[in-house]
Amino acid sequence: MAKAFLELIGIDKSYPGVQALTGVSLSVAPGEIVGLIGENGAGKSTLMKVLGGVVSPSSGSIRLDGQDHASLTVKEAIGAGIAFVHQELNLFDNLDVAANVFIGREPRMGGPLNLINRRRLRAAARPFLERVGCDFQPETSVAELSLAQRQQLEIAKALSLGARVVIMDEPTSSLTISETNRLLDVIRELKASGVSVIFISHRLNEVEQCADRVVVLRDGRVVGELDQASIRHDVMIRMMIGRDLRELYTPPAEPPGDGVLDLVAVRTSTYPEQSVSLSLKRGEILGLAGLIGAGRTELARAVFGVDRLLGGGIIMNGRSIVVASPRDAIDRGIYLVPEDRKRTGLILEESIASNISLPDLLSYAKLTLVSTRREKRNAELQCKALGVKTRDVATIVGALSGGNQQKVVLAKWLSMRPKVVIFDEPTRGVDVGAKTEIYKLMRALADKGVAILMISSDLEEVIGVSDRMAVMHEGAIAGILERDRFSEEAVMLLAVGHVTH
């Protein structure tokens, strides 16, 4: 491997009350793919923000081509060829693809008006789009692109800016399996052309597939590095959490009981011509698998009263019920833990404690005064149970790491004594250690008699955790599998619409 052109040396970063990074060193050589892994709150994103010039380190230095800097500005980072592919992508929806690539650097016509030369702009964008295998055109409007395509566009833009290293912070967390594979191909192409990639992911099999070297962070320190030959799933897990992981599946305490919630020929607006019938049983974890876009989230939203049912009915404990709003659902003990924690789950400016008690506030709306002490005690209990990493529950949710935010969402719904809980992608962006905690929690809930529906695109997870599994394809149930018939192949066949008998 060529010599490193980029080195972070002894980086410290502290926030009030939190030491996010302690003496972290990391080097990157041209064309090298560095996997950066660690549990939620380990400091991965913070370290990358230091590199991207978004955050100034408290001490340490950044060595670029032999020159030391105490910190970088965003402009200096970009100038040095450091590019960030953000989780919240920075694109302009109202512009086309080419304009987004060259925003602020558009070729002009000259003359008194000096208008943008659209033809040259599009021609200039094309080679960068081709390099990352985009299947859309320079003149396509960004509003029409899928998330995966937007990500490709960000990478093309980074290349047009002369990127030498592309930082990807959990780039695959919202991608389908085939989109993920395509991204991994792009990463290999970047490598072949000498561009380096720093790849952060909780999905260790992806890291295993693409990284030349893995750096492991724990509690803000580098706890180890693995060269390519020694990158293995179990080794990475042990380094991240400092122990071995237990088997995913824990069987229920008792066999599942009767149906608590029966969906009878339910129809939603995404797939109006299809209908879904499904029975959620007491004490059972029912996995709902399928490809992204199969209609699982829409089904969950309809059951929770967010979207209107087009047809069919919902039966709870043998009686037909109407769920016209989330309020109705909550009154009956039906909860949805949504997948998009930023948009639907949390108020980032509020404290952990008040986020957790938010649904409580709904049900006690008549009370003018919320008991802050009770709120605090409940929040502390929940945070402890889920292992939310924070100094105290007065911390603003926005200051938590991504995975810890997800745990707060869970804590919020679990403090409500539910009868039915629908988890939509409950462990997206959550580290391996916390995943086990969340699975344990689901099992504990089920053992208390709660019926659980777990929507998950993570095959290892649905297979590992569910007692029974329903697989959706294009708005319909393609098949139901009992645990003894679980296999990746069986799930995938059903998910792509292969009919089995």
Ligand X SMILES: Nc1ncnc2c1ncn2[C@@H]1O[C@H](COP(=O)(O)OP(=O)(O)OP(=O)(O)O)[C@@H](O)[C@H]1O
Pick the stretch among 42-50, 65-73, 205-213, 337-345 that binds Mg ion (CB under 5 A). 42-50
Q: Pick from Mg ion, ligand X, none: which does 428 bind, CB < 5 to 8 A by kind?
A: none
Show the CA angle centred on residue 426, arms to residues 483 and 212, nearest 5°. 90
Which lies closer to ligand X via its Cβ, residue 159 or residue 397?
Answer: 397
In angstroms, rounded to a whole number, what is the distance separating the alpha carbons of residues 395 and 356?
Answer: 12
CB of 428 to ligand X, least distance (A): 11
CB of 85 to ligand X, least distance (A): 15
In angstroms, rounded to a whole number, what is the distance separating the alpha carbons of residues 306 and 296?
Answer: 14
Residue 171, both tokens: 């780039």
Pick the stretch among 275-283, 337-345, 349-357, 398-406 that binds Mg ion (CB under 5 A). 398-406
Q: Helix, strand, or coil here: 96?
A: strand
Which lies closer to Mg ion via its Cβ, residue 19 or residue 274?
Answer: 19
Which lies closer to Mg ion via its Cβ, residue 45 or residue 152?
Answer: 45
CB of 155 to ligand X, least distance (A): 20
436 binds Mg ion (CB under 5 A): no
Contact criterion met (CB below 8 Å) for 222 and 24: yes
Which lies closer to ligand X via its Cβ, residue 412 or residue 443?
Answer: 412
Which helix (H) or strand (E) segment holds residue 46: the answer is: helix 44-51
Which lies closer to Mg ion via its Cβ, residue 45 or residue 196?
Answer: 45
CB of 432 to Mg ion, least distance (A): 14
45 binds Mg ion (CB under 5 A): yes
Q: Pick from Mg ion, ligand X, none: which does 41 bind, CB < 5 to 8 A by kind?
A: ligand X
* Residues contributing to the site for ligand X (CB under 6 A): 15, 18, 20, 38, 40-46, 389, 399-404, 431
Among 41, 60, 287, 402, binds Mg ion (CB under 5 A): 402
| DSSP string of 216-271, one letter each residue | EEETTEEEEEEEGGG--HHHHHHHHHSSPPPPS----SS---SEEEEEEEEE-SSS
Residue 323, both tokens: 């769920």
CB of 75 to ligand X, least distance (A): 21
CB of 37 to ligand X, least distance (A): 9
Q: 165-169 and 82-85 as β-strands: parallel, antiparallel, unpaired? A: parallel
In angstroms, rounded to a whole number, what is the distance separating the alpha carbons of residues 402 and 409?
Answer: 11
Which lies closer to Mg ion via its Cβ, residue 168 or residue 211?
Answer: 168
Residue 209, both tokens: 């597939």
Which lies closer to Mg ion via its Cβ, residue 34 or residue 314?
Answer: 34
418 binds Mg ion (CB under 5 A): no
CB of 494 to ligand X, least distance (A): 31
CB of 43 to Mg ion, least distance (A): 9
Report CA 220 to chain centroid distance, whole Å: 21
In angstroms, rounded to a whole number, what is the distance separating the alpha carbons of residues 116 and 369?
Answer: 58
Which lies closer to ligand X via its Cβ, residue 43 or residue 345?
Answer: 43
* Long-range contacts formed by 229-232: CB under 8 A, 24+ apart: 231/35, 231/207, 232/208
Q: Pick from Mg ion, ligand X, none: which does 40 bind, CB < 5 to 8 A by kind?
A: ligand X
Pick the stretch among 152-160, 226-234, 397-405, 488-496 that binds Mg ion (CB under 5 A). 397-405
**Residue 468: phi, psi to the nearest 5?**
-150, 155
In angstroms, rounded to a whole number, what is the distance separating the alpha carbons of residues 94 and 87?
Answer: 20
Which lies closer to ligand X via its Cβ, residue 284 or residue 431?
Answer: 431
Q: Which residues of 236-245 are buried (b: 16+ CB within 10 A; e: fewer)?
A: bbebbbeeee
CB of 429 to Mg ion, least distance (A): 8
Binding interface with Mg ion (CB under 5 A): 45, 402
